Structure 1
């Protein structure tokens, strides 16, 4: 028996632990949806903005949200989010969750109806990480 601290785990190491965790969770989460969902804004067939999310049960989990700098402040992000939320609602979502760092988009999400539920101060060093939710009902 031994313990190993690995400062550079391989993709296989990560996959093994992830697979074991999925197997452990299976009896508790079986039958709950876990579907990817995305919405993009294209200019001449080039992605200039997009949001990547997952639908997990009744929750929309926002993962990545980006708008090209030259397009920020023009309502494109709000439109993307509204379209994504509408689709998530059709897929049975009742709530949405996002996390954002203090230098990112907290005011944007609050304008879209998200409310801060928790803050991690000094994360990862000298910023804050906000967890925000919104009712889609």
Structure 2
């Protein structure tokens, strides 16, 4: 059962300008693993990556309805790519499925996040194996 949907659009150039002006912006928004993945990219692709992660975390905050800061911090959300390129979102201490789509077009990045309730069996699995779905 879907319990939340969030959407966000950002101008890639605007996020790049903020990152250039405020050097701590990237390490505030991105986890260490996301920073490492961003560092592997150069120029336009690095800016797209950073803006995409920022936008996805904003979309997550809209899907939950409680924003960033009160219950979830920027560093609690991590979006890394699978080998096939698909982004996967993991959220610290968040016992729900999260799905994320990130797309770029010109100077815009658009993201959608869907949050789905776990089945009873999945909830039992988390109790038996508490590290599942939690950032390490």
* Alignment TM-score > 0.5, same fold: no
Please state which structure has a larger fraction of its residues in strand: 1
Using the size of structure 1 for normalisation, the TM-score is 0.25
Please state which structure has a larger fraction of its residues in helix: 2
More RCO (CA 8 Å, sep 6+): 2
